Structure 1
């Protein structure tokens, strides 16, 4: 490295800046500030971040460093500024930006960022060089993670390397006063990527049919005509159509093989979104942020819309059937802004894939896989190096008075990943660890220098395409960050692909392998993101989800764990009930209902003459009873998720079948939430009791016994009680039961003053608030998720934290 020579009684400093400081306009900012402070020296990128050498008066250097903290670029995040005096042998007469150097990788990869206001203005300005250019960007916005191949973040290390800058772009790039000074993806219509339209049947396009400005503008006309368009975006392909056209939305669902799961929406601006949803200040800020995620927004009630214009073009019912919320995002690339410019309606913008497969990122792959779904393709020739899905977030407890009125992330991807999560005290000097994550909603996590680098959402590893995408993304991260783990953390479930791959990596590289219990990892993730130090005393973790592999070989999913980072003690659970048919029980919820009734009432179903019981008696109950008795494909599971499925099916929601895990539970929450909002004081929850589960002669394990709940629910069915009332009574009763279990545990041998709420069931905002309110009223501190999802998307963070703590 170049060192400066101290001259004329001036001091010389070497300054190291670590954090998200590459690809965000950091060097240009350093240059501008150094010139303002009349300093001489040099700034450059390397594998550890940004290095700066400055020569000048002490007060000028101090001012420079302070201004650097305050005036850092909008996408930058400074983790540390380290200053050292030194002697050098070179004298500078000016301040310059040096070429990047290749050293050991310690810097961070910046997340992709939504189009900034300045670039947005340029693409709609007829006098701008970037007028209607769909790949306009600057140092404050544009692609980052999605195009990077290696560090440091320079154009030659991205998929922009093949686009040689024209003389005008070179002038912008080299002008310190320009917004595009050292903006690596900068381009213009002369020298940059191009977008074009194709028909999916391969026939030529007749341009005059669209009366279009260009191929991107034609997308608007196609959507208005009821066509489905596959659009190559920032991190993958999307399928777009008119969100107010029920017939075309149904066609999209059928072709994509996604019958029920909610579809994401995009609208041109906030005003259009507000016609359909309530938007708080916090939600507006999220929508307009550089991350530009999908935000779950409460639907407007049609009856409350006084302005007649607001009820025109309603959202198609099949966009989000049975939901109280719609997932909206704003345009986050120039291409989206241009395509939606003339649209006064929202569009569906869902991932471009077949159900359960990864999103397409390659043009030829999209032609093969999406031709049966899309009528047209909008392609471009900038390669997507890293697949990056849209992030999904929500605000919990908007009208609540407590600290849980906060941001919750449900899918962490574009705009957030791979920004590191600073781990709390004690994790700084632990050698590198790799955590492989779960089978569903997979992410993996790398630990280094006290930071957890969580991958973007990978998805469910249930088919060959998904598993290959997982391996490719993992290899890329290990290469990008030159990560050489000393230990690998895996889930205990032996059949998870992530577990198998972790074992292979550990064996091939002679690395320590750490098996982490699923729900312990959920609790540790919540502890880590709430900044509990490595030696913090145990918390009571309430981990509710579909299922996870227990250390006793059974399936867990409703657990009360006294846990720290190194270990845990199981202090309570939900009642273990058979999962009839194993995985079939997830997609045929009536199986859970029957198993719960069988567990509650024994050999015979209750004698009541109920439609539910008539339905169940049409099923092969003798065979199912034999399966339970002999333990054939009917593992016991203390699953919170399956309890929700059983109740939903019992009252007539998703009884026969569902198309995705938790569909019944989500619908149950939706109708309960609507009722509780208007009848909160009237609702008395269904009763649960606490019983003891004898555990091989050891101390009896308390569990929540739902038999009284089932008795009361069957009585309500007999009385013809409305579904929404029963759903509300179940939520309230379960919240009461969870609080009662906590009360029992904390006044036993263990003293509890802090509880972590985690697991996919706590995506249920109604249950989260109801449980949190009760625990806070008991004087207990409640920890919830905000930086990583409560579902399995956050599991790898907990795995990393546990493996790191155990290494000590």
Structure 2
């Protein structure tokens, strides 16, 4: 007999076909393997057919991931050999691999003086290098990428066509003879830009050395990475960092730093085992870790750094010439997407940078750096981008017979024996367009779910254009035309306004319910859960601003069973930056006396301002009343300061669930926490510790009132200390997003999940 398999997952551009080829040869099987737009197709004949799939599963390439295997039994064709044949264009459903950091084998070659790619800045193979950022269309073939303009030399082509070579069909394969070129631009005294175009062998690496020298001199440079440019300077040079802040108009928000190696990070930071695991993973994300040495101007006032390791050949070559960490922050105007083209860089940030290290391999799809954080022995994703996204997941749908199929079923599906299989092709195409901050989009079609890389805050024309461009990118890649758009209920979200202008069926899902749904989707949860959703803002069903919510929720509906006492957002959106009047207005009169703005705050409290239950704003008010901040200079500042001063030796807390009469009541009164912060103004440790303990215990006490497992969601749970304390104190089974962003980056996931389960 002949067996035909259709395998889906991350199986293209990752060395999957050569692995299949080797296994087939070893098992003396005949047939073929090919890439198609909806997966990898394999046909095999031979005595060892029954060993094939198990052997394949046990020998997958490092970047490959199998989600589903469909099996079909056919009549024998009597193949005489096993071969890899050309890609076949069919329905587009295969996963696009995220961009992956340079692998150890390529690093070894790059620093081998006898290797023809010695010091080559674009070295890659099937196990590493650009993927999503260079792709124009599926299938992932060179002609469909930005590498199409570079004709391979004979040696590269020989590797590319050899099934036993590590670079077999590694689409970005190239070398000094046939690959992209680095170029350097710098700003002249008259403000014009000049480009260095000497292309002989010596100058190829000299360009990187030149940029390294300029960084040493204190200059600010822009370096092109996989998904866009970084703004770079010497992180140990206080004046250089201060100048970058002045030019970029970013006075206090922390900068991420890139280090040469893990040992150097350990000189500046205290790392847990989980920190180390995340930092050294193949994705090489930015990881938030504890400071050991304070570098002025990098992350003043807080106890964390965002650190990451080199992930491109250019980064590694740069560190051959410098021995200090560098600031490596996204090259963009505030709230706009990362810049991917040097002409745009000169236009928008020409007054910020002195030198540009560019190359002529075009970035088709911009992609920022991912940001993650270890929590106990787990982790949370704060920005899902390079290395992790696009994130594809196979979903399962209920059949007419009430059974479920498709998710992780692997080789159990047989077309001949599953009469219900065709129902999978009748699912709606669903587009979830996310929130206004930390926007992502998600789409679902057939049995596939895809989360886009981080798009960002939709607060500028440029960011809205990027949002629309990302939608168009995924429509093109997957021949996707949505039947349904699912958006937030907030009428002023740009994503919602865009959705309502489309001539499509629209569903609007409440913001905090979408957070809960995103967690259910990640863990494939069914039934009721007690969901604590704490964040900064979200449009509530009653027209007020929610953000401190407790739901009983399932895949289909939710009930708001508790919420933090609503208060007036004095100043509207300005209260996010300036919590002073909002905070003092809530204090008991005798405690408020010590604040200069008491009269103003109390008078303003009579005004007509939006009502909110936002936990994010409660954090801000506590930080202000304790004296940690006068205003919020950047998002998350108050939370990180409260974390900094938390002392685990202080066990004191204020019971919000019992002594304040929560019980079976909906409203959780937190004003006693504000009074405590104001009365103990200046004692940062005490206020921070009592506040975190009180919120953690409130969650635990309320959860004990219900015979339900718990979901934690929303941006406030990026607070590592709060999340850790709840996990330590609770005996409940607790779920929170890990691979999907726990903040508003997960909203589109929840929206699309609701569509999958309800439409």
Pair in the same fold by TM > 0.5: yes
- Other-structure match for 1:374: 353
Is 1:798 the counterpart of 2:750? The answer is yes
Query: Following TM superposition, by how much is the alpha carbon of 1:668 offset from its aligned partner in structure 2, in angstroms?
Result: 1.7
* Structure 1: gaps spanning 5 or more residues: 1-10, 301-313, 398-404, 747-751
Alignment coverage as a number of residue pairs: 727
Alignment check: 8 A CA contact 2:15 2:169 kept: yes
Query: Which runs of 5 or more structure 2 residues have no equivalent in the other structure?
Result: 399-403, 407-423
Offset at 1:687?
4.6
**1:88 Cα offset (Å):** 5.9
Among 384, 390, 413, the alignment partner of 2:385 is 413
Deviation of residue 218 (structure 1)? 2.2
Would you say 1:296 and 2:293 are equivalent positions?
no
Work out whether residues 525 and 801 of structure 1, in 8 Å CA contact, stay in contact via their aligned partners in 2.
Answer: yes
Any conservation in 2 of the 1:692–1:702 contact (CA below 8 Å)?
no
In the alignment, which of 582, 590, 600 is matched to residue 580 of structure 2?
A: 590
Name the SS of the counterpart of 1:478 in structure 2: helix
- Match of 1:702? 666
Q: Give 2:25's aligned residue.
A: 35
- Structure 1 residues 147 and 376, CA gap change in structure 2 (3 angstroms): same
Does the CA-based 8 Å contact 1:272-1:344 persist in structure 2? no
- Relative to structure 1, is the Cα distance of residues 540 and 192 closer, same or farther in structure 2, using a 3 angstrom cutoff? same
- Two-structure CA RMSD over aligned residues (Å): 2.3
- Which of 386, 402, 422 is 2:365 aligned to? 386
Contact 1:573 1:701 (C-alpha < 8 Å) held by counterparts: no
| TM-score normalised by the chain length of structure 2 | 0.92
Say which of 678, 686, 707 aligns to 2:654: 686
Q: How does 1:727-766 map to 2 (within 5 A)?
A: 727-744=688-705, 746=706, 752-766=707-721
**Counterpart-to-counterpart distance in 1, 2:269 and 2:438:** 27
2:16 corresponds to 1:26 = yes
User: Residue in 2 aligned with 1:551?
Assistant: 541
The answer to whether the Cα contact below 8 Å between 1:257 and 1:354 also exists between their aligned partners in 2 is no
- 1:7 counterpart residue number: none
Distance between the aligned counterparts of 2:445 and 2:205, measured in 1?
50
**What secondary structure is seen at the aligned counterpart in 1 of 2:3?**
strand
Q: Which residue number in structure 2 is paired with residue 525 of structure 1? A: 518
Tell me by how many angstroms 1:606 deviates. Answer: 2.1
Counterpart contact for 2:110–2:117, Cα < 8 Å: yes
**Whole-Å separation in 2 of the counterparts to 1:503 and 1:251:** 43
Distance in 1, matches of 2:87 and 2:590, equals 75
Q: Provide the rounded CA distance (Å) in 2 between the counterparts of 1:117 and 1:607.
A: 61
Deviations 1:365-415 (A, max 9, x none): 011112111110000001101111100111101xxxxxxx21211110000
* 8 A contact 1:393–1:409 mirrored in 2: yes
> Which residue in the other structure is 1:783 paired with?
735
- Cα shift readout 1:678-712 (whole Å, capped 9, x = no counterpart): x2xx4312353669999xxxx99521112322333
- Residue 274 of structure 1 and its aligned partner are, at CA, apart by 1.0
Please give the alpha-carbon distance, in whole angstroms, between the structure 2 residues aligned to 1:711 and 1:798: 37
| Cα deviation, residue 282, structure 1 | 2.9
**Contact 1:545/1:759 (<8 A) preserved:** yes
Work out whether 1:341 is the aligned partner of 2:320: yes
1:363 Cα offset (Å): 1.8
1:487 alignment partner in structure 2? 484
Query: Cα distance, 1:255 vs. partner?
Result: 1.3
SS of the residue corresponding to residue 42 of structure 1 reads strand
Counterpart of 1:661 (choices 620, 631, 635) is 635
Change (3 A) 1:130 1:595: farther
Q: 1:4 corresponds to which residue?
A: none
CA distance in 1, matches of 2:288, 2:65: 27
Structure 1 residues 772 and 592 mapped into 2: Cα distance closer, same or farther (>3 Å)?
A: farther
Listed one character per residue, the Cα deviations across residues 555-596 of structure 1 (whole Å, up to 9, x for unaligned) are: 100000111111111101011111111110011121331243
Distance 2:142 2:203 in 1: 37
Moved more, 75-84 or 553-562: 75-84
CA distance in structure 1 between the partners assigned to 2:158 and 2:617 by the alignment: 61
Which SS does the other structure have where 1:319 is aligned?
coil
The equivalent residue for 2:4 is: 14
Q: Counterparts in 2 of 1:761-772, with a 5 A limit?
A: 761-772=716-727
The superposition leaves residues 633-655 of structure 1 with CA deviations (integer Å, 9 ceiling, x where unpaired) of: x1000000000000101111222
1:297-376 pair list within 5 angstroms: 297-300=289-292, 316-376=295-355
Q: Measured at CA, do residues 637 and 51 of structure 1 come closer, stay the same or move farther in structure 2, by a change above 3 Å? A: same
Q: How far 1:204 moved relative to its partner?
A: 6.5
* 2:597 counterpart of 1:645: no
Change (3 A) 1:97 1:494: same
Query: How far is 1:743 from its partner?
Result: 3.8
Between 1:457-466 and 1:358-367, the stretch displaced more is 358-367
Separation of aligned partners in 2, 1:443 and 1:537:
27
Equivalence for 2:680: 716
CA apart distance, 1:607 = 5.7
* CA drift at 1:38: 1.8
Helix, strand or coil: the match of 2:623? helix
The residue that corresponds to 1:671 in the other structure is 645
Is the 2:626–2:678 contact (alpha carbons within 8 Å) kept by the matching residues of 1? no
Offset at 1:630?
A: 4.2
Report the CA distance between 1:30 and its aligned residue. 1.2
Query: What's the CA shift for 1:425?
Result: 6.8
Instruction: Give 1:87 shift.
Output: 2.4
1:264 alignment partner in structure 2: 256
Deviations 1:6-28 (A, max 9, x none): xxxxx322121111101111111
> Could you say if the C-alpha distance between residues 607 and 524 of structure 1 is closer, same or farther in structure 2, counting changes exceeding 3 Å?
closer
Q: Provide the C-alpha distance between the structure 2 equivalents of 1:180 and 1:206, rounded to a whole number of angstroms.
A: 29
Provide the rounded CA distance (Å) in 1 between the counterparts of 2:661 and 2:480.
45
1:774 aligns with 2:729: yes
Q: What is the DSSP-based 3-state SS (H/G/I as helix, E as strand, rest coil) of the residue aligned with 1:493?
A: coil
Structure 2 residue 35 is matched with structure 1 residue 45: yes
Tell me if the contact between 1:46 and 1:100 (Cα under 8 Å) persists in the aligned partners: yes
Aligned to 1:72, what secondary structure does the other structure show?
coil
TM-score where L is the length of structure 1: 0.86
- Indicate conservation of the 8 Å contact 1:165/1:187, yes or no: yes
CA gap of 1:563–1:61, structure 2 versus 1, over 3 A, is same
State whether residues 139 and 183 of structure 1, in contact with CA within 8 Å, keep that contact through their aligned partners in structure 2: yes
After TM superposition, list the pairs within 5 Å mapping 1:93-108 onto structure 2. 93-108=80-95
Question: 2:209 — aligned with what?
Answer: 217
Task: Indicate the SS of the match to 1:53.
Answer: strand
Aligned to 2:136, which of 145, 149, 152? 149
Q: What's 2:453 paired with?
A: 456
Further displaced range: 634-643 or 47-56: 47-56
